[in-house]
Amino acid sequence: MNTVLVSAFWPQKSQSLIFKVGFVLVGSLLLAVSSKIQVPFWPIPMTMQTFVVLVIGMAFGPGLGLATVGLYLVEGAFGLPVFAGTPEKGLGLAYMVGPTGGYLAGFVVATMLVGTLAARRWDRHPMTTAAAMLVGMVAIYALGAAWLATFIGIEKALQFGVVPFLLADALKILLATALMPLAWKAVRGFRGDDHVR
């Protein structure tokens, strides 16, 4: 396994508990904010939440990424309005087991998958970054649509829970594909090539 982005940037501090708690708190806040901001798009407005989930997984790695998404879900379970559509569509565990609950579970799996691939250096090159992000996005769609299908059937789950989001999520993958290798280039410039593996 190799270093992920945040620990490469601050190698001396990355093992500090304060460092880890700080990143987990900031990451959970970013997830909450990203669920609320809607960007005009066709066929439906998009949030940047799946982008933030995947970037957190890639930048933080599987352990810190999982802790971040886990804290976000705990916040939501305790009734904080951190999820998309809350509080209007409900709060707490009732929301989490509702039609969109599978996507929340997908966030966990996607973070682990993308974080593990990032720790294997998939985030250093545009092609492998795109592949890792695609793996994560497929996990989110698969769990989200499977759970939604228990409410409305598989055909409608695909029609309403996958197809409208494909174009927006493809753009998010392209954005991440450009962002992550550039972030690594910035880290190498900041720390020097000999410090970053």
Q: Is residue 193 part of a domain?
A: no
Quote the pLDDT of residue 197: 54
Q: Give alpha helix (H) positions in the chain.
A: 5-9, 17-36, 49-77, 92-96, 101-119, 126-152, 154-161, 166-191
- Assigned token pair, 149: 């299908």
| Local mean pLDDT, 10-residue blocks, the chain (197 residues) | 77 77 95 90 81 95 96 97 91 94 97 96 92 97 97 95 93 91 84 58
CB distance 4 to 115 below 8 Å = yes
46 occurs within a structural domain: yes
Residues spanned by the domain of 68 = 5-188
Is position 101 within any domain? yes
Is the residue at 196 inside a domain? no
What are 102-145's pLDDT values in tens digits? 999 999 999 999 999 999 999 988 999 999 999 999 999 999 99
Residue 195 lies in a domain: no
SS3 string of 51-72? Answer: HHHHHHHHHHHHHHHHHHHHHH
Kindly state whether residue 20 falls inside one of the protein's structural domains: yes
Domain count, the chain: 1
Could you report how far apart the first and last alpha carbons of the chain are, in Å?
A: 10
Judge whether 171 lies within some domain.
Answer: yes
* Contact (Cβ atoms closer than 8 angstroms) between residue 148 and residue 161: yes
pTM for the predicted model, two decimal places: 0.91
CATH number for 168? 1.10.1760.20
Position 138 in a domain: yes
Contact 62, 111 (CB under 8 A): yes
